[in-house]
Amino acid sequence: MSDELKNRAQRNRRLIFDAEAFVQYNVGLVSMARGRADENLTDATRLYHLASTSNRELVMRMTDDVYRNRFAILEALEPATPEQTVFKTSMTNRSRIEYLNHRSAMNRELIDASDKMIEAMQAMKQAATSFANIIDKMVEHCDDAADLNAEYFDGELATQMQAATSEANTERVNQNLELIAAVRERAQGNRESLMSRFAAATGENDALTSLNDRLESQRSEIMALREKIDANQHRVADTIYKL
């Protein structure tokens, strides 16, 4: 083997060593980025249930009670003239319309919010499918590599070595140089992408923390308003029959 070819082979070894450091570090970054994404998904799911189920149910029941109080107040009116009778009826109708209008508008927004969850579920399904496809490729690669190992062990590698020529070695060394250059370039690009995604995931974590604070504050506000509505309900109840 010529000194030039030896130098190329040694250079390839150095490039491979550098590429290994890049690729293996990226493996760690992939795990970190995916771990942060999984944490964000868990937090987002918890907040979704808090908003869509817990807080939503509280405020829906509270809305019913607000208007039940309104209707009870209207029902307690005792009109003395035809005009007052019309007033009572029209105000009762207005309150029912306001209630239905509010509920109808909120139903529309709830449908839109539910659509976003459906889209999120579809995105999760697509992500799971992508992971399944990647795993299939990894399994296929390992299967092919294991078959090649068996061929090498059974004598194929020794046969290729015995038939080695300077020209074939030179071609292989040059091909190795091209391949490792491509690996290094991809690894560097992967590093940049992973760092960007990790930063984005960290930002999402901050946003989720802010949303959590908002929902907890919202729940406290709902419960405080609940006390106000309950107090009004007791006042209305006393007009019906004072215990």
Instruction: Give the pLDDT of residue 166.
Output: 86
- pLDDT at residue 74 above 80? yes
**pTM > 0.75: yes or no:** no
Q: What is the pLDDT of residue 243?
A: 58
pLDDT tens figures, 159-176: 999 998 888 888 988 898
Please report, for residues 36, 42, 125, 183, 189, the alpha-carbon distance to residue 198 in angstroms, rounded to integers and kept in the order given. Answer: 8, 16, 22, 22, 14
139/170: higher pLDDT: 139
> What are the pLDDT digits (tens) for 193-241?
888 888 888 888 889 999 999 999 998 998 888 888 888 877 777 676 6
Residue 192 is predicted with a pLDDT of: 86
Is pLDDT at 125 greater than 90 in this prediction? Answer: yes
- The reported pLDDT for the residue numbered 237 is 73
Given this model, what pLDDT does residue 228 score?
A: 86
Q: Which residues contact 215 (CB under 8 A, 6 or more apart)?
A: 47, 50, 51, 55
Q: Which of 23-27, 127-131, 182-186 comes out lowest in average pLDDT?
A: 23-27
Domain residue spans of the chain:
3-240
Rg (CA), the chain: 35
| pLDDT bracket for residue 2 (50, 70, 90) | low
- Give the pLDDT of residue 82: 94
Long-range contacts of 9-17 (CB under 8 A, 24+ apart): 9/173, 9/176, 11/177, 12/173, 12/176, 12/177, 12/180, 15/177, 15/180, 15/181, 15/184, 16/180
Closest CA to 40 of 179, 208, 187: 208
Give the pLDDT of residue 15. 78
Instruction: Using alpha carbons, list the distances in angstroms from residue 65 to 28, 106, 126, 228.
Output: 54, 16, 43, 11
| pLDDT exceeds cutoff 60 at 1 | no
Residues 6+ apart with CB under 8 A from 48: 117
Q: Could you report how far apart the first and last alpha carbons of the chain are, in Å?
A: 108
* Mean of pLDDT values over 112-140: 92
Percent of the chain with pLDDT over 70: 97
Average pLDDT, the chain: 88
pLDDT in tens, 83-110: 999 999 999 999 999 999 999 999 999 9
Q: Which DSSP letter does residue 200 get?
A: H
In this prediction, residue 92 carries a pLDDT of: 94
The string of pLDDT tens digits covering residues 49-69 is: 999 989 999 999 999 999 999
**What is the distance between the alpha carbons of residues 1 and 7, in angstroms, rounded to a whole number?**
10
